[in-house]
Amino acid sequence: MNVALVDLHRQHAELLERMHTAIREVLESGAFILGPRVRELEERIAAVCGVSHGVGCASGSDALLLALLALDIGPGDEVVTTPFSFFATVSAITRIGAKPVLVDIDPATYALDPKLVEKAITERTRAVMPVHLFGVPADVDAIEAAIGSRDIPIIEDAAQALGSSYKGRAVGSLGRAAAISFYPTKNLGAIGDAGMIVTDDDAFAARARQLRVHGESERYRHERVGLNSRLDEVQAAALLVKLTAMDDWNAVRREHAAYFDDALRGTPLELPVVPDDCVSIVHHYVVRAPRRDELRAYLAERGIATGIYYPIPLHRQPCFEFLGYREGDLPEAERASLEVLALPVIPEVTEEQLAEVAEAIRAFYGA
C-alpha cells in the first residue's frame, strides 16, 4: 500500500481537461503576466480572505518580503516572529536587513505564544508576524492585546491557511496584510511558484503593487527599489480552476483529521489542537510522537509517507547563527522539532488508507 502526503496526479485528474483548456486560452491570448486572469484571481482570493485587495506575486516567500517592504521595514528595525515555521518566515526579515526577534511557541498550537510577545517588543519593533502553522490560526486577538496601543501592524504568514478562520473571521483579514502561498503542495496549489498579498488597506495594496514591479510608479519611473515578483497568467488560470474545488478539498481534509482524532485516541500520540473558535483547513495533521523517528521508519516500511515540519527550528539554522540564539533559548520550538510528525490527510487519501495508517500506528505502539 502507498499512502502519500501529497499526490498531485490524483488531485488534478478530475480537473485536467479544464486546466488544459484554461492554459491553452492563455497561450492563445498572448498575455502572460499580470493579465485578466491574475486580476480575477486577486479578486477571488481577496473575497476568500474577506478583504478588498489581492496582489499576486511570484511566491509566498515574495509575498512576505513585499509586505515587509510595503511597511518600509529595513535595517535597524525589528520584526517579532516564530522560530517554528518554514524558512521564508524569518529569511524575509533578514533579506531586507531587519532583525528577526524570535519568540517561542505555544506547545498546543505551535503558533507564536502571545504571552511572550509583549516582552519581545521594543521601540524598534515594526511588525509582529504570526504564522498560522499547519492551517491552525494563531491567537491574533491575544497578540493584539500584547501590542496594546502601540502602532505595530500584524502581518499574517497565511501560507498554510487559506480558508481557515479565527472567531468567525477569515485568515487573511486578521492583520494589516497577509501572505498566501500557492506552492504546488499547498491546499490551493499552482503548477509552479505563485503567491499573493491580501489586505484591506488601499494604500498598502498600492505600495505592494508598485513594489512587485521594481517599485515602478508609472512606466519607467521608480519611486523605490522593489522586486521583479509578478504572477503569471498560466498560474492564475490553473489556480482559478482549482479554486472551484478548494472548499470541498478543505472539507475532506477536516473529515480526515476528525477520523484520525477518533482513531488515534488512546495511543501515546499527542493529537493536534484546534481551538474551539477556530476552523483549520488542516494543511498538515501534526501529532507529537514518542520515538518519532522509529515510528516514521516503521510507517515508511509499510508504504505510509509522513513528514517532519520542521526538523530544525529557525534559530538553529546555520545561516541565522549571527542572530546569537543558543540551544535551549526557545525550548518549545526545539522540543517540537524533535517530536512532530505529519500524517497524510490529503483529500486523495481513501478512508481505507486512513484506517490502515491508524492501524499501523496502533500496532507500532502495541496499543
Judged by CB, which is closer to ligand PLP: 131, or 138? 131
Matching residue, cell 498546543? 108
Pairing relation of β-strands 78-81 and 125-129? parallel
Subset of residues 318 to 357 that bind ligand PLP, contact rule: CB under 6 A? none
Judged by CB, which is closer to ligand PLP: 332, or 356? 332
Q: How far is the CB of 132 from ligand PLP (least distance, A)?
A: 8
d(CA 17, CA 356): 32
Subset of residues 168 to 197 that bind ligand PLP, contact rule: CB under 6 A? 181, 183, 193, 195
Q: Does 152 bind ligand PLP (CB under 6 A)?
A: no
> How much helix, strand and coil, in percent to the nearest 5, is found in the chain?
40, 15, 40
Q: Does 88 bind ligand PLP (CB under 6 A)?
A: yes
Cell triple for 275: 481551538
Q: Does 57 bind ligand PLP (CB under 6 A)?
A: no
Applying CB under 6 A, among 86, 166, 204, 364 the residue interacting with ligand PLP is 86
Q: Does 134 bind ligand PLP (CB under 6 A)?
A: no
Q: Does 159 bind ligand PLP (CB under 6 A)?
A: yes
d(CA 181, CA 174): 17
d(CA 336, CA 173): 28
| Distance from chain centroid for Cα 346 | 16
Q: Which stretch binds ligand PLP (CB under 6 A): 46-54, 80-88, 222-230, 335-343?
A: 80-88
Q: Does 85 bind ligand PLP (CB under 6 A)?
A: yes
Q: Does 131 bind ligand PLP (CB under 6 A)?
A: yes
Q: Which stretch binds ligand PLP (CB under 6 A): 54-62, 108-116, 286-294, 317-325?
A: 54-62
Amino acid at position 341, single letter:
L
d(CA 176, CA 178): 7
Judged by CB, which is closer to ligand PLP: 88, or 354? 88
Contact (Cβ atoms closer than 8 angstroms) between residue 62 and residue 195: yes
Four-CA torsion 15, 16, 22, 26, nearest 10 degrees: 140
d(CA 225, CA 227): 7
Q: How far is the CB of 307 from ligand PLP (least distance, A)?
A: 12
Q: Does 105 bind ligand PLP (CB under 6 A)?
A: no
Site for ligand PLP (CB under 6 A): how many residues? 15
Contact (Cβ atoms closer than 8 angstroms) between residue 120 and residue 103: yes
Instruction: Return residues touching ligand PLP (CB under 6 A).
Output: 59-61, 85-86, 88-89, 131, 157, 159-160, 181, 183, 193, 195
